[in-house]
Every structure is written in structure tokens, then in C-alpha cells.
Amino acid sequence: MSSSIGKNLKISIFGESHGRSIGVVVDGLPAGIPIDREDILLDMARRRAGRKPGSTKRVEADIPEIQSGIYEDHTTGTPLCAVIKNGDPHSQDYAALAGKPRPSHADYTSLVKYGGLQDLRGGGHFSGRLTAPLVFAGAVARAYLKTQGVVCGSHIACIGGIWDAAFDPLNVDEKTLARLRKSDFPVLDAARGREMAERIEKARMNKDSLGGIDECAVVGLPAGIGDPMFDGMESKIAAILFGVPGVKGVEFGRGFAMANLRGSEANDAMEMRDGKPAFLSNNSGGILGGITSGAPLIVRTCFKPTASIAQEQSTVDMNTKEDCRIVIKGRHDSCITVRGLVAAEAAVMIAVADAMLEGSKRI
């Protein structure tokens, strides 16, 4: 099993949902990056359950205990390690499910691969709980990106068929990104946000769940970051995003909508402005040939509906080799898209920081 990724900025995530703790090691950070601990706690709080519509009743403090790599609020250049304690696990909620794979969870596939030796409690290492250390690593990446004049932010693009307004692909406002980061339910159109929240509550009352899409923007990126063929920005970002539990789709710019366009509609034409090249559109999402173009980087992430629902479902009993029915108890989000947004944003920042550190080696 490998839960490590990165070429220049390397992260390794460890722990299980109901173990004593979870955490991350971040390697490759330059020395001297200012670390604002309150700013890191802001991202941790954004991911944490609580007042967010449809979020789980499991509420953890999620205070990262930094073991190494930071001294006097600056990175030291050595591996940064942070541990997050698990203080509110209810392992008994999963006792009745032993040997009965929960539909659309990794229970069956992990059983086949690891022969029953994996930690099953709360999904173990496959749990969304492991996004907490990912978010910490993303917050550290954010601190590095800030020194480079790069800003990242996200909003909920769609939940339950309700679509928020989209980012302007050529003019993403940094003040808007800052406002979204401080919102419990980050949307551009408040009225659409209320409709989404109502859909989530309706799903919860029906013992069901909803999927959704998050949209992330990175602004301030210079042109020329990323490498072909398999080390391009899309590849780096998608690789980390697909490590986030529940992610089933990733698209850049107009993404799949490009399939229904003509080249004359999809191409991003250019013109000279004040002696510099500028784009007239940004259908490609700020990436061409795997390399940043200087336009805002736009990426959308699709989350499937939360697999743990309270309705009775069909599965199999691996012990008796018979069909059976189960009801999943415990504490689960009705829509992981709301908190998943923060994990997706962290993944994007880690990938971008990794690519920018590669570029810094060439200077």
C-alpha cells in the first residue's frame, strides 16, 4: 500500500479512521516559508463537520500537532510531520457489518486485496477521515504559494441538480476567493446555495445522500509551469484528486463540454495587450500541453453520493456465502461535496506547489 505522492513536494499520509491518530509527512519544502498557524486552522475548520448542511455528527477537534519541520513559525527545510488525534470514534457502529461489504465502499475490494487484515472500522485507511491530514498538507502548500503570489479558492458548483453561478474563467476575483474560504457553504449565488441546502436536508430525511461538483480556481500562476507528457499540470492535479475518497470525475476548463463544440468555438484566441499576450477566452482552463498558460487555472471535481446511507441495502455475507440485507448505522455526511471541496482544493494546491518547485530548480 502506498499513500505517498509528489515529485518535488512529497506527501505521505498515514493512519486509520478509528485508530489513535492520523497524520502526514511533507517533504521537499524550502526553508524559510512563513507559517501562519491560524491560517492553517482555518482550512482545518473548513473541512471539519459541524454547522455545514448534511454533515456527519462525528465532530473532531482536528488540531494538527506539528512534530517537526517548523521552527519559530517558519519551515526549516527538513521533513514536516503533523499528527491529528482521533478523539470521537464509535467503532461499535461497525461491529455488525463484519464480513458484509457496504455497497460502493472499499470493503469488498480491500478484503480481496488484503485478505481481511485491513482495518475495517469506519473504512480504515480508505475513509474520508484521511482527508484531514491532506487538508493540513494543502494549507502548508498554500503558505508556499502565497510567497509566489499564487491564490487558490473554490465554490460548490452543483448539488442535487442545482447549479451555482460559475467562476468567470478569465477574471477570477481574489477577494471573492477569500470570501468563499470563510463561508460554511461557499457559493457565488446565495439563493442557489439555499436551494442546495434544502435538497441535502430532503435527502437526509429520506435516509439518502447526494453527489455534487466543486469548482476550484488558481490565480496568479505564471505561464510555463508543468511538463509534458505525463508530468503536466492536469496529470499532477488529477492524480492527487483521485486519491480523495468519493471523487469520480475531474475536468479542466470546459472539460467534457468541449466534446460538443467546434474548434472555432473551443479554441482560446489571443491578442496583444500593453505589449503582452492575453487570452480572449479560457476554455482550456489555463493549461495547454500540460503547461500553465498564465490564465486562471480552472478545475472541477465530481463527488459521488455518500455511500453510507441509512436505507436497507443488498449485499453478501462473506462468512456464510449468502445474500443478505444491511442497514448502515453511524454518523455520515448526506453530501460529501460540501466538505470534500476543502480536500479537493488542498489536492490542487499540493500539485501546483509541486510543479512550481520543479520550475524553481531551473532558475
Task: Establish whether 48 is an annotated binding residue.
Answer: no
Tell me phi and psi for residue 243, to 5 degrees: -85, -10
Task: Establish whether 314 is an annotated binding residue.
Answer: no
Task: Establish whether 125 is an annotated binding residue.
Answer: yes
Task: Establish whether 308 is an annotated binding residue.
Answer: yes
Task: Establish whether 303 is an annotated binding residue.
Answer: no
How many Cβ atoms are within 10 Å of 356's Cβ, its own excluded? Answer: 21
Crossing angle of helices 337-360 and 131-147, rounded to 10°: 40
* Bridge partners for 158 per DSSP: 163, 213
Task: Establish whether 290 is an annotated binding residue.
Answer: no
C-alpha cell at 68: 517537526
Distances (CA, A) of 233 to 5, 99, 271, 283: 14, 41, 24, 16
Going edge to edge, which strands form the sheet with 4-5? 4-5, 10-15, 21-27, 80-85, 65-68
Task: Establish whether 58 is an annotated binding residue.
Answer: no
Give how far the C-alpha of residue 126 lies from the chain's centroid of Cα atoms, to the nearest Å.
14
Distances (CA, A) of 293 to 170, 171, 217, 236, 327: 12, 14, 14, 16, 50
Task: Establish whether 141 is an annotated binding residue.
Answer: no
Task: Establish whether 17 is an annotated binding residue.
Answer: no
List the binding residues for FMN: 125-127, 289, 304-308, 331
List the binding residues: 47, 125-127, 289, 304-308, 331
List the binding residues for NADP(+): 47
